[in-house]
Amino acid sequence: MSPLSTGAISAMYQGIEDQVSTEPVVQVLSVKKVASSGANGTDRYRLILSDGEHFAQAMLATALNDFVAGDAPVVTKNSIIKLLTYAVNDVQTRRIIICLTLEPFADPCDKIGNPTTIDNISAGAVPAGGDVQMRGVARSPAPEAPAPQAQALAGRGGSNASKTAAVKRGGGGFKGKTDPNAPIYPIESLSPYQNKWTIKARVTSKSEIRHWSNQRGDGKLFSVNLLDESGEIRATGFNDACDNLYPILEEGKVYRISKARVNIAKKQFTNLNNEYEIMFEKGTEVELDDDDAAPKMKFSFTELAELTSIEKDGTCDVLGVVQDNGQLSEITAKATQKQIKKRELTIVDRSQYSCRVTLWGRQAETWQDVNGGIIALKGVKVGDFGGRSLSVGGSATIVIDPDIEEAHQLRGWYDTQGQNQSFAAHSNSMASGGGSFKPDAFKTLRDVVDENLGMSDKPDFFATRATITYIKGDNMSYPACPTDRCNKKMSQEGDDLWRCEKCEMTYPAPQYRYILSLAVNDYTSQIWLSGFNEVGQEILGKTADEMQQLKDDDEQQFTAIITSALGKQFNFNVKAKADSFGDQTKVRYQLQRLAPVNFVEAAKSMYETCMTGWA
């Protein structure tokens, strides 16, 4: 007897709930990776699911990627799985099943039955008067049938996701009033192809209102991060929506939200793992919900000792004990000449490292001292100033003394051991003469190539000592936005104007930043390194602006400065990572830090190594 839920695919497509088992069992006929769009995108996986009678296309929720990815996937071709919760979304003229939660049901076997495609069943073939929704949500009497692209099936079974369907009425302020009988959609199932949905989510982060002024006019905006059991999504409101919803939405509270737009996410403004974002509109409806069972904020912590494995300008979550609250200070922004408040905290963790955390603006001004307190930081930006540092930007979140297991463990460790220990700091090798370079950890360039560093799924990091033999003089810098912490490439508009699309600002001149490409050699081989602004200044002794001016006015001097850097030997810290272009895969070596060689110390190290070998 077939273990599959025969007829489940057809019933899901047509919205016939009574004909679908509570947790349908289906067979996976195919698993295919769909490459992410953009550098910061998340890979998605497309499945073909069969009930033995019909087969249909499905997408795996990104939270379930580990089921099919990696060296030992749990779900493979011909695996049999049980769908605990799911949704069915219309994408153009085809329906796609969104697998939200699942569990393996049986090991892979031969294909069961002779299933045929479900595509011959119309995507709009939903029974009249039958609004498609999650099991357990009361139907509104004789509802108006939604447009085909807005219909969806969502979440069945006894899992936590389906419990969110039991919507409770809540008190509090609202803009408009959400339908208490509307089906609750999981955040993971939202897409631009839907125009009627309601989510129930907790606000985990809320930004300040930000104002802008440019040639197109003035405006304001704010954003929130929303969380439910299926995932997270960023939502932003401009102008009228900002005025209407900013006073209503509060961090930590749960809301039902509907009548908003879903767009492709702008990854430069969010650190959440979601390819979509919500845009609040003037008619967006928000109502407070008193369901405290909604999930709290989720973290994926990185220890402070591991910050060097994260690229500059990347984001991460960290958990630490505040050792120093710092002093409130003020700096002048280069671009706007405005005064900005800042405060630098010092935190430590069980990896026995400390790190500076910079707060900005109102957050810096309103910070209350929490000596010895524990803070969880979500989505903080990693910088390389002074080695490694953290910056709390507009999309980052701080939680003081979070009620989570990791925080309780950190508190126990610090109170019993940590407060009496000393902590290492991420020093900047370029400024400190190479303090973090360990001669016994150096690799020759031949070893780097022979060991295939950079060819694994994660980047590899290594140290080496080599001599600069060539620097490309063409395209060694780019016109960057002068706004503090932006650095995006600008485009020229006319003779005297440069525009940054990210900041939507126009400036009389850019601020050039290095993107060096240089060849380095040791006695075994040669590799090409790429280096950015701080690296370029260390090697050439001039800023990228100064070098660009020389290139325009005095090319002979420009060439002489590049030539003077050749033959110099440095200690290098390098990141190796493979990039694919078409059918070719090539390792790229990115220079993280460098320091001039201390030849006296190098000679002593060689002598000690030789003496150890002879002994």
pLDDT at 428 (0 to 100): 47
Return the SS3 of 228.
strand
Rounded Cα–Cα distance for residues 290 and 296 (Å): 14
Q: β-pairing, 491-492 with 397-400?
A: unpaired
Torsion of CA 179, 180, 182, 187, to 10 degrees: 100
Q: Which CATH architecture has domain 439-476+515-606?
A: Beta Barrel (2.40)
Q: Which CATH architecture has domain 301-425?
A: Beta Barrel (2.40)
Q: β-pairing, 54-60 with 116-117?
A: parallel
Helix boundaries (H) for 123-248: 160-163, 239-245
CA angle 484, 489, 492 (to 5 degrees): 110
Rounded Cα–Cα distance for residues 511 and 483 (Å): 9
Rounded Cα–Cα distance for residues 439 and 190 (Å): 52
Distances (CA, A) of 87 to 24, 105, 190, 442: 13, 19, 10, 52
- For residue 209, which amino acid is it? I
Question: For residue 557, what are the contacts with CB-CB under 8 A and spacing of at least 6?
Answer: 550
Rounded Cα–Cα distance for residues 493 and 479 (Å): 13
pLDDT at 615 (0 to 100): 53
Task: Give me the phi and psi of 57, to 5 degrees please.
Answer: -80, 145
pLDDT at 169 (0 to 100): 30
- Cβ count near 383 (within 10 Å): 18
First to last CA, the chain: 73
Task: Name the token pair of 64.
Answer: 């379930």
Check for a shared fold between 8-117 and 439-476+515-606.
yes
126: left (phi over 0), alpha (psi -120 to 50) or beta: beta
Return the SS3 of 568.
coil
Q: What is the pLDDT of residues 376-421, one digit of tens each?
A: 998 888 887 656 889 987 778 888 998 889 999 999 999 998 888 8
Task: Name the token pair of 50.
Answer: 């069969």
Question: For residue 519, what are the contacts with CB-CB under 8 A and spacing of at least 6?
Answer: 468, 469, 470, 471, 526, 527, 528, 529
User: In this structure, what DSSP letter does residue 387 have?
Assistant: S
Q: β-pairing, 198-206 with 116-117?
A: unpaired
Scan for tokens 């919507």, then name that residue: 167
For the chain, list residues with pLDDT below 70: 15-21, 35-42, 90-93, 120-181, 292-294, 333-337, 385-387, 427-441, 484-485, 582, 609, 612-615
- Cβ count near 464 (within 10 Å): 23
User: In this structure, what DSSP letter does residue 557 have?
Assistant: H
pLDDT at 293 (0 to 100): 67
pLDDT at 38 (0 to 100): 47
504: left (phi over 0), alpha (psi -120 to 50) or beta: left
Q: Give CA 388 to chain center in angstroms.
A: 19
Task: Give me the phi and psi of 375, to 5 degrees please.
Answer: -125, 140
Rounded Cα–Cα distance for residues 246 and 581 (Å): 45
pLDDT at 69 (0 to 100): 86
- Cβ count near 408 (within 10 Å): 13
User: In this structure, what DSSP letter does residue 416 have?
Assistant: H
Angle between helix 533-540 and helix 544-553 axes, rounded to 10 deg: 60
Task: Name the token pair of 347.
Answer: 């935190």
Q: What is the pLDDT of residues 174-200, one digit of tens each?
A: 445 556 667 788 888 888 877 788 999
- Cβ count near 257 (within 10 Å): 26
Enumerate the domain spans of the chain. 8-117, 187-288, 301-425, 439-476+515-606
Rounded Cα–Cα distance for residues 585 and 578 (Å): 6
Rounded Cα–Cα distance for residues 345 and 329 (Å): 12
Strands (E), 389-430: 389-391, 397-400, 424-425
* CATH number of the 187-288 domain: 2.40.50.140
What predicted TM-score, i.e. pTM, was given to this entire model? 0.46
Rounded Cα–Cα distance for residues 292 and 520 (Å): 59
Task: Give me the phi and psi of 432, to 5 degrees please.
Answer: -100, 5
pLDDT at 374 (0 to 100): 94
Return the SS3 of 233.
strand
Task: Give me the phi and psi of 481, to 5 degrees please.
Answer: -70, 130
pLDDT at 20 (0 to 100): 56
Q: Which CATH architecture has domain 8-117?
A: Beta Barrel (2.40)
